[in-house]
Structure 1
Amino acid sequence: MSKDRQASLRHGEPLGRRERDQARPEAVNKVAISDKAEAGSAAGLLSGCHHKRKPAPVFRETDMKLKERVLRRLNGQEVDMTPVGSTTTYGCVAFMKRCGVTRPEVDSDPQALALMAIAGHTVGGFDWIRAMGSDITAASELLGCKVHSPAPDAPYAIASHPCEHGDVDRLDCPDDLLSRGRMPAYREQFRILKAKFGKDLAIYGASEGPFTCAANLMDAAPLMKAAIEAPGKVEKVMAVTTETLIRMIRFAAGEGADYYCLAEPSSTPALLSPKYWDRFVGPYIRKIAESVPCPVVLHICGQTAPIIRSMCGTGVAGISIEEKMDMQSAVRIAHAMGVKVFGNVATAATLFSGTPEECRAEAMAALAAGTDFLCPGCGIDPNSPLDNVLQMRLSRDEKFGQPKFTPAERVAL
C-alpha cells in the first residue's frame, strides 16, 4: 500500500478527494497539471470507485506572485491556491530568537519591527506580512492611555484608562497624531519593508478597532454600562476613536499598506449584544471602511454567529474569525455578501497547547471548509511552538502539491 494511500486512510480521507480538489477551478487556475494526473482525477470522479489506488501528489507549477495571490483573493478574483498567513498579531518568541531581537524593541524599534514582520514570511511561511507591531494598543496610546512595559512573551497592554470616570469632554483627536507614540517608528518600518518586499509581498497595517480603543480609554465595564445609561458619552468617544483610526489607516495606506486589519475583541457577542453592536460598532466600522483608500479586514474574537451578517454589512473586504465560529457557515454568509473570510485554526487550544498533528488537522479542516485565507483564529500566542505554527504553511502546501517549506534559521535586513 502506498504512503499516500496510508495517509488517506489514517486521516479519514476517502479515495477520490484529492482528485475532486484537483478538478475544482480554484485549485487549478493558472496551474500546469500533467495529462496523466487529469485523467486519473476524472476517472476517480466518474467511477466513484473506492478500490483504485490514489495517484501521487502532482507538483503544480505556478507563476502567481505572493502579493498577487493575496490581493486577488481579497478582491474576489481567482487564485492558484489559498493564501496562508496571519491577519492578527504574530509576536512569537520563536521568531524573535531567529531575528536576534526581543521586547520591547520588537514593538518600538523600526529595524526590530521590520525583522519581526519579515520573520512571519521567512520563518513562519506566511504569504504576506504585518507592519505596525504585534499588539492592539497603538491607537489608544495616541489618545492618552499608558501602556505596561512588555516582557518577551507579553506585548504592550493598557495600564491606565484616562476616561474611566466618564470624563470624555476633553477627549479629541490630536493634530500631531502622526508624530506621537510609535507612529514615527511605524513610518520607518514601512519604509524598510516597502523597499525590501514592496513588489513581492502584500503588507498590512493593523491596530485595535474604534470600539476596543474606546474600551481601552474608558475601561470595558464602564463602557458597557455607559452604552446603556449614557449612550451619548459612548458616541462621543466613538467619534474620536473613529477619526483616529481613519487617520491611522490613511497613514498606513500612504506608507505602503495593501490593507488594514481592525481588531475588535471588546465587541465580541460575549460582551456586547447584537443590538448594541449594531448601534455602537457597526456604523463606525462602516464609516472607516468608506473613508480610507485601502481594503479593511475586521477581526472579532469568540462566537460571532449572532453578528456575522452585521460584520459583513459594514463595507469591509474581509472578516477574521475564531474556531468558535463555524467556517462553512461563515463562508456561506460572507460570500453571499461579497466578503472574504480569514481563519480559523485555534490559537490557544491548538497552536499554543496542541500537537503538530492537531494543528495540521485543524488547518486541513479550515481549508476543506473553504476559508479564503488560512490563518490563526486570533493573535498567535508568543510562546506558541514554531512546529505548530508551521503546520498552517505545510498543510496548505500539501493540499496544493507544493514542495515542503523550510524556515530560515536567521532573519536579517
Structure 2
Amino acid sequence: MLSESTSWPNLPPRVKSRFLPVNGLRMHFLEAIPETPRADEPLGLIILLHGFPELAYSWRKVIGPLADAGYHVVAPDQRVCGRTTPAGISAQTKFDDSLLPFQMTNMVKDVVGLVHSLGYNSVVAVVGHDFGSPIAAYCALIRPDLFRSVVMMSAPFTGPPQIKPVPLPKDDLQLDPTMQMLSDALGKLDPPRTHYTHYYSTRQAGSDMLNPPNGLHAFMREYYHVKSASWEGNHDPKPHPTAVTGPADIVATMAALPHYYVMGEPTMPLAVNGCGPSGDDSWLTDEELAVYVQEYARTGFQGNLNWYRIKVLSGWEADCELFSGKRIEIPAMFIAGSYDWGTYQVTGAAEMMKEKVCAKMEDQDFVLIEGAGHWVQQEKSVQVVNELLRFLQKTRK
C-alpha cells in the first residue's frame, strides 16, 4: 500500500498531492501551480478527470506542462478511486452498496464541489478521458456558467437521455430494456458474446478483475496493452466509422469490435489473457504500472464498475433526463488516439457529438492523434498537451 507521503514514480517534483473535503468525500488530487503566474490575467483553473481503470496519476505527463503554460492544474482521484474515499470510510466499495452516489448528477456535484473548495468561481476547462469524458460533458452541459470550455477524450458524448413516457423502475440488477435486447442478441451469436458494459454490471465482475488467474499485475498489463496502439490487433483493421442500416446491422457491427469490447470469454481477465507485450510498454513502465496495481489492489474495482452499472441498469440514468434536448453551448473539443476503437464503438456517436450535441465544436477541434490508442494522454502526452494549449489559446480570445 502506498502511504500518503510516498512519491509516485515519474511524477514531476512540482506536482503535489493533497486532500480536501468535497461532497461527503475526502477527495485526493494532484495539482501543479505555475512557478511564475501570468501577470496579465488571473490564474486559470483546469480540471482533469480520469477514466477506468485509471487514477489522477494517469495525467502525470500532462499536469506539469499545462502548469508551465500558466494554468493551475488539478487532477482528482474520482469518487472511491485511489485515495478518494467517503469521509471516515476506507473499506472497498461492495456490489450491494447504494448506487445513488454514482449517479451522474452526483459525480458532477463532486467536480463542482472541488472547484468551490479550491476557491474558484470559473474554470478555464474541464477535461475528461474515458468515463471521465461524459462527466466532463455533463459538467459543461449543466453548469456552462462555471465551466468555460470542455475537452472530451476517447469517448464521444451523445447527449442526455430522452425523457421516457413511462419512467423505468430503478433496478440494481436488471439491464435497461434496450441494453437487454442487445445483450440477448449478442448471446445468441456463435460463439455467444457479451458487451463489456453488460459484464461490468454483473456481481462477479469486481471479484473477477481483482482476483485474475495470473495475478493483478499481469491482468492490468494486458488490459492497458490491448487497448493501446502498441497492440497490433488495433492496427488491422484500423479503427474507422461504422454504418448501420437496420437492427440486424447493430449486432453484426458490434460483434466485429475487438474482443475487449464484445467479449467471447466469460470474464475480462480471460478476454485479454495472452495479449500483453513481450516487455514493458514504452509509454507505461513497470514502475508506473505498479502504482495502478497497488492502488486497485487496495480499493478494488467496484467503485469504477458502478459508473457502468448506472449507465446500463434500468432507471439509473433518470436524473439526467432533466436535461433532455439540452446542448453543450460552450467551446468543445474531442481528442482520441487514431488506434482507439472507443471513438467508433457506438455507430454515429462521434457524428452526433459534432453535429448535434456540441454547438461550438469546430472541425479542427475533433482531433485523432496518430500513433496513440485509448490511453492517449499517456501514450502521446506531448501531442495532447499541444492540442489542449492550441484549443485553450483560441477560447481565451
- TM-score (norm. length: structure 2): 0.28
1 or 2 for the larger relative contact order (CA 8 Å, sep ≥6)? 2
- Larger strand fraction of residues: 2
Give the number of the structure whose alpha-carbon radius of gyration is greater.
Answer: 1
- Larger helix fraction of residues: 1
- TM-score (norm. length: structure 1): 0.27
